[in-house]
Structure 1
Amino acid sequence: MEQLKRIKVAQIIGNSTCGGVPSFVMNYFRNIDREKVDFYFYTYGPSELDAEILQLGGKILHMPDVRNIFKSIPFLKKSFSHYKFDIVHSHMTTLSLSPLFAAILSKIKIRICHAHSTTNRKEGTYIIKNLLKHFSKPFASNLAGCSHLSMNWLFGKKKGASSVLIPNSIDLSLFLKNPLRSIELKKNLKIEKNFVIGNIGRLEIQKNHLFLIDCFLKTLETLPNAVLVLVGKGKQEDLIRERILSYNIADKVIFLPEISDIVRYYEIFDIFWLPSLYEGLPLVGVEAQAMNLPCLFSETISKEADLTGNTIFLPINNPSIWAEATLMIAREKPTYDNLPTLKAKGYDIKDSAPKLLDYYNSLLSNGKNPR
């Protein structure tokens, strides 16, 4: 019997350090039928995910920074033409111009622009992002995103309404708390008797860690046994550490490295904070809800992120409100059973991965999807 030709998809990721976009693509890659599709990961350099990508049969190609169009477009055109991709799926949001234009030059019919985030006026790149977003859409044959907010922002409300929602799904089977493992890690960190506030994310302006530290300082006034666990790395790490030292709370804050088995960290949290300036639909928010954690999100995050009805949205101009909400949760100790709800809403990767393959097949069958 003749073997069916695999769909060849270029996944344009860029920065491949652990974070929302690489985790999103990897969740789908781990669970999609890899006998029917090949993923080629275009990144800026080596990452902790490389070994797993290769083990699963993926390919890795390092590309120039897409912000340098004079280097990235010729490189990508040559690479795309060489590999003869069926689909180019760009996860670069406002920076999708280079890969999508290169795909046009390479005569690739299916070119997906995927919206993963938005922006905020407090961000230094706010103006340029609002300019750049207009240059990605024209070169895409198809539009997709992780939330209606991100799609409406990147593509406009008219195009956003007709774009395809590809959920930030996760492997729900992994999010079953292991009490023994949790106790062991807490013991190793010497926080067995503490109330643990957790945050996972890149230490960048977008994630608003300086405000988070202010909230934690305020929380300690009424919850002195609280500790803060920060997971991630980024350009703001020195500034964050300086603020922690200036508040004399270094003994209350723990920095942990990123790991692939991220569930181990969620297991030790008592509450999850996400005071971001902006998000698309945060993958860590889905994960925290899957672990049945009480979640405090900033009001700037789309209400779509509350998948379970248990999330509290708070302003990011008043640390006292975050402290009060945290104290209330520490006292009430709410319990949830979110996994059935997340599965029903389509956030189980076991269900979503086959749908992504169906989406790719439908695009190839139609030549392109009308926008």
Structure 2
Amino acid sequence: MVLGTAWLFDAADVALLSFIMPLIKKEWALTPGLLGSVGAITTVGMMVGAIWFGYLADRHGKKNIIMLTLLIFTISNLGLAFTQDIYQFMIIRFITGLGLGGELPVAATIIADSFSGDRRSKMLILVDSFWAVGWIFASLLAFLFMPLYGWRPTVIITSLMAIYTLVLRRHLPEETNVKNTKTNIKASISQIWSPEHRRATICLSLLWFIIMFVYYGLFLWLPSVLMTKGFNMFHSFGYTLLTSFAQLPGYFLAAYLMDKISRKKVLAIYLVGTLIGAFIFGTASSNAMVIFGSILLSFFTLGAWGIMIALTPTQYPISHRGTGIGFTQAIGRIGATIGPYLVGLSLGLKVSITMIFFYFVIALLIGIAILLFGLIDNDQVDQK
């Protein structure tokens, strides 16, 4: 439960940023391209944080590092409330990204080290379901609190919650598998590129790239896209809150299917579902189809993310698991950087919403091909 808050805070941060973006666009008179850079700079920080803190977790203990990442997130989020222009905002968002980017792979590694087999996969998906809780929490803040008090007090609330979690995490059990060697990060990354792990690293990196490209490109811009389709801001928040509740059953179904069919088949189902949702949302011409497409996107996209969280740790031995998760997710963060920026750039160039959503349809088709023909999900690699 305590480790699940890593996903809760990450989701709340991403969701709040998507709600804040229309507000700072008006407050600071931002162009769509510059607004897209706000989302991109956060994911650049997360990319750096994922690699660096994943490596540090393997070398200096996962409990110590996950506490450090949460501390970085807490302090930087407080600082965000006092920014006076877009450039200060972007600097703070980069620092916030460092903490968030490191927190998720380290938390996933702790769970992966504590369980094995199907139970490990289910536990990783279930803790990832806290993402839905975080998104719902942020949607409620954006729907009920932010319109009355503004975005600055709203981000302070998330920092206060993080301080409480920081106290709880002090009670995590100590580790017995910490490596005290002087191996540097270059040598650690070379391990996950060894002949034994190279294929998994390539396929997982590409899949993370595509899933994050799709997720961040879609969901950071969802309120703005809804407004473009004719909804006002109040309704955009309400619709986003409604579709957020579709995330939880998506996770639960994925966890249920883990010991019924192979993980590759489960992920393939969810990628196809995401593709269908993107197509329906992008081509929707009525309120009902917008809502239906949003629900499908929430259900399948987040479920696919949870399945990847369950799949990635099993491809690496415990000595380099943090580095493996951190590196492949860091490559994914490149997609998370490109996705929001590409949407912002396309909107600035007056590209239609339908055409923008076809970017994601094509990316998902490529991801399905990589999954089916590239990745070998060898259960024997699933070791403690």
Point out which structure has higher relative CO (alpha carbons under 8 A, 6+ apart).
2
Verify same fold: TM over 0.5: no
The structure richer in strand per residue is: 1
Query: TM-score, structure 2 length as denominator?
Result: 0.26
Structure with more helix by fraction:
2
